[in-house]
Amino acid sequence: MGKRAVIVSATPRTGGNSEILAESFAEGAREKGNEVELIRIRELDLQFCRGCLFCQSHDDCLVHDGMGALYERLSNADVLVFATPIYYYSVSGQLKTFLDRLNPLYSRQNAFRDVYLLASSADGEESAMDGAVKEIQGWVNCFDGVRLAGVLRGTGATKAGEIKMTDAPERAYRMGRSI
Protein backbone atom coordinates (compact mmCIF):
# COMPACT_ATOMS: atom_id res chain seq x y z
CA MET A 1 0.00 0.00 0.00
CA GLY A 2 1.21 3.48 -0.85
CA LYS A 3 1.53 6.54 1.28
CA ARG A 4 -1.13 9.12 2.10
CA ALA A 5 -0.15 12.53 0.76
CA VAL A 6 -1.97 15.79 1.41
CA ILE A 7 -1.10 18.64 -0.93
CA VAL A 8 -2.03 22.18 0.10
CA SER A 9 -2.38 24.67 -2.74
CA ALA A 10 -1.93 28.24 -1.51
CA THR A 11 -2.57 30.22 -4.68
CA PRO A 12 -5.61 32.48 -4.89
CA ARG A 13 -5.67 31.95 -8.69
CA THR A 14 -7.50 29.08 -10.32
CA GLY A 15 -4.95 27.51 -12.63
CA GLY A 16 -2.12 29.37 -10.92
CA ASN A 17 1.46 28.29 -11.52
CA SER A 18 2.02 26.76 -8.09
CA GLU A 19 -1.26 24.85 -8.40
CA ILE A 20 -0.05 23.40 -11.70
CA LEU A 21 3.01 22.17 -9.80
CA ALA A 22 0.73 20.71 -7.10
CA GLU A 23 -1.35 18.87 -9.70
CA SER A 24 1.79 17.53 -11.41
CA PHE A 25 3.15 16.28 -8.07
CA ALA A 26 -0.24 14.65 -7.36
CA GLU A 27 -0.27 12.91 -10.74
CA GLY A 28 3.18 11.45 -10.15
CA ALA A 29 2.32 10.34 -6.62
CA ARG A 30 -0.94 8.69 -7.71
CA GLU A 31 0.80 6.82 -10.53
CA LYS A 32 3.06 5.21 -7.93
CA GLY A 33 0.02 3.96 -5.99
CA ASN A 34 -0.17 6.66 -3.34
CA GLU A 35 -3.40 8.13 -2.01
CA VAL A 36 -3.44 11.88 -2.71
CA GLU A 37 -5.71 14.67 -1.49
CA LEU A 38 -5.43 18.21 -2.84
CA ILE A 39 -6.67 21.02 -0.59
CA ARG A 40 -7.13 24.47 -2.10
CA ILE A 41 -6.88 27.16 0.56
CA ARG A 42 -8.96 29.56 -1.56
CA GLU A 43 -11.93 27.19 -1.11
CA LEU A 44 -11.76 27.38 2.70
CA ASP A 45 -13.36 29.98 4.90
CA LEU A 46 -9.92 30.55 6.40
CA GLN A 47 -9.64 32.98 9.30
CA PHE A 48 -6.53 34.24 11.07
CA CYS A 49 -5.10 32.65 14.20
CA ARG A 50 -6.23 34.67 17.23
CA GLY A 51 -3.31 33.71 19.46
CA CYS A 52 -5.69 32.54 22.18
CA LEU A 53 -3.73 29.29 22.77
CA PHE A 54 -6.95 27.26 23.08
CA CYS A 55 -5.23 24.62 20.92
CA GLN A 56 -2.50 24.16 23.54
CA SER A 57 -4.96 22.43 25.86
CA HIS A 58 -7.45 21.06 23.30
CA ASP A 59 -7.27 18.89 20.20
CA ASP A 60 -8.66 21.56 17.89
CA CYS A 61 -9.03 25.29 17.34
CA LEU A 62 -11.49 27.74 18.88
CA VAL A 63 -12.00 29.35 15.46
CA HIS A 64 -14.68 27.46 13.54
CA ASP A 65 -13.99 27.72 9.83
CA GLY A 66 -12.77 25.40 7.09
CA MET A 67 -9.74 24.26 9.10
CA GLY A 68 -11.52 22.14 11.70
CA ALA A 69 -12.31 19.38 9.21
CA LEU A 70 -8.68 19.22 8.05
CA TYR A 71 -6.69 18.59 11.23
CA GLU A 72 -7.33 14.84 11.32
CA ARG A 73 -6.56 14.41 7.61
CA LEU A 74 -3.33 16.40 7.88
CA SER A 75 -2.25 14.61 11.04
CA ASN A 76 -2.82 11.19 9.46
CA ALA A 77 -0.98 11.97 6.21
CA ASP A 78 2.42 10.38 5.67
CA VAL A 79 3.52 13.25 3.42
CA LEU A 80 2.59 16.95 3.44
CA VAL A 81 3.17 19.13 0.40
CA PHE A 82 2.83 22.91 0.38
CA ALA A 83 2.49 24.59 -3.02
CA THR A 84 2.76 28.38 -3.04
CA PRO A 85 3.39 31.31 -5.29
CA ILE A 86 6.23 33.51 -4.08
CA TYR A 87 5.01 36.90 -2.91
CA TYR A 88 7.65 39.36 -1.77
CA TYR A 89 10.24 36.58 -1.55
CA SER A 90 8.25 34.34 0.79
CA VAL A 91 5.16 32.15 0.91
CA SER A 92 1.77 33.62 0.06
CA GLY A 93 -0.24 35.18 2.87
CA GLN A 94 -2.77 32.39 2.42
CA LEU A 95 -0.15 29.76 3.21
CA LYS A 96 1.25 31.71 6.15
CA THR A 97 -2.24 31.95 7.66
CA PHE A 98 -2.79 28.23 7.00
CA LEU A 99 0.49 27.33 8.72
CA ASP A 100 -0.40 29.51 11.71
CA ARG A 101 -3.69 27.66 12.00
CA LEU A 102 -1.92 24.28 12.16
CA ASN A 103 -1.08 24.86 15.84
CA PRO A 104 -3.45 22.04 16.92
CA LEU A 105 -1.09 19.55 15.23
CA TYR A 106 1.74 20.31 17.67
CA SER A 107 0.28 18.24 20.50
CA ARG A 108 -0.74 15.29 18.29
CA GLN A 109 1.07 12.12 17.32
CA ASN A 110 1.28 12.96 13.61
CA ALA A 111 2.01 10.40 10.89
CA PHE A 112 3.80 12.82 8.57
CA ARG A 113 7.57 12.67 8.41
CA ASP A 114 8.26 14.21 5.00
CA VAL A 115 7.30 17.72 3.91
CA TYR A 116 7.76 19.12 0.42
CA LEU A 117 7.66 22.68 -0.89
CA LEU A 118 6.59 23.48 -4.45
CA ALA A 119 7.10 27.16 -5.25
CA SER A 120 6.62 29.31 -8.33
CA SER A 121 7.84 32.84 -8.91
CA ALA A 122 7.91 35.51 -11.56
CA ASP A 123 11.52 36.18 -10.58
CA GLY A 124 13.90 34.11 -12.65
CA GLU A 125 16.39 33.58 -9.83
CA GLU A 126 16.05 30.50 -7.62
CA SER A 127 17.24 32.61 -4.67
CA ALA A 128 13.86 34.40 -4.82
CA MET A 129 12.49 31.36 -2.96
CA ASP A 130 14.97 31.33 -0.11
CA GLY A 131 12.52 33.13 2.21
CA ALA A 132 9.81 30.56 1.47
CA VAL A 133 12.20 27.69 2.13
CA LYS A 134 13.17 29.29 5.45
CA GLU A 135 9.47 29.73 6.34
CA ILE A 136 8.64 26.08 5.67
CA GLN A 137 11.83 24.84 7.35
CA GLY A 138 10.89 26.86 10.44
CA TRP A 139 7.48 25.16 10.52
CA VAL A 140 9.05 21.72 9.98
CA ASN A 141 11.51 22.34 12.82
CA CYS A 142 8.60 22.51 15.26
CA PHE A 143 7.94 18.77 14.81
CA ASP A 144 10.27 16.02 16.03
CA GLY A 145 11.31 13.53 13.37
CA VAL A 146 9.98 15.61 10.45
CA ARG A 147 12.17 16.79 7.58
CA LEU A 148 11.92 19.06 4.60
CA ALA A 149 12.35 16.25 2.08
CA GLY A 150 12.31 18.29 -1.11
CA VAL A 151 12.01 21.77 -2.58
CA LEU A 152 11.02 22.56 -6.14
CA ARG A 153 11.81 26.07 -7.36
CA GLY A 154 9.78 26.97 -10.46
CA THR A 155 11.07 30.30 -11.67
CA GLY A 156 10.23 32.82 -14.38
CA ALA A 157 6.45 32.37 -14.52
CA THR A 158 4.23 35.42 -14.02
CA LYS A 159 0.89 34.84 -15.73
CA ALA A 160 -1.26 31.88 -14.75
CA GLY A 161 -0.15 28.84 -16.73
CA GLU A 162 3.28 30.17 -17.76
CA ILE A 163 4.97 27.56 -15.60
CA LYS A 164 3.97 25.02 -18.27
CA MET A 165 6.59 26.59 -20.56
CA THR A 166 9.34 25.47 -18.14
CA ASP A 167 10.49 22.06 -16.93
CA ALA A 168 9.05 22.66 -13.43
CA PRO A 169 5.83 20.63 -13.94
CA GLU A 170 7.89 17.63 -15.09
CA ARG A 171 10.18 18.01 -12.08
CA ALA A 172 7.13 18.19 -9.79
CA TYR A 173 5.72 15.05 -11.41
CA ARG A 174 9.01 13.19 -10.83
CA MET A 175 9.14 14.43 -7.25
CA GLY A 176 5.62 13.07 -6.71
CA ARG A 177 6.67 9.70 -8.13
CA SER A 178 9.57 9.61 -5.68
CA ILE A 179 7.56 9.65 -2.45
Domains annotated for the chain, with CATH where assigned, are: 4-177 (3.40.50.360)
Asked whether the beta carbons of 15 and 24 are under 8 A apart, the reply is: no
Q: In whole angstroms, what is the distance from residue 120 CA to residue 145 CA?
A: 27
pLDDT at 93: 97
Q: What angle do CA 90, 91, 95 make, to 5 degrees?
A: 160
- pLDDT, one tens digit for every residue, the chain (179 residues): 799 999 999 999 999 999 999 999 999 999 999 999 999 999 999 999 999 999 988 878 999 998 999 999 999 999 999 999 999 999 999 999 999 999 999 989 999 999 999 999 999 999 999 999 999 999 999 999 999 999 999 999 999 999 999 999 999 999 999 99
| Report field, pTM of the whole predicted structure over 0.95 | yes
The torsion of the CA quartet 146, 136, 9, 37, rounded to 10 degrees, works out to 0
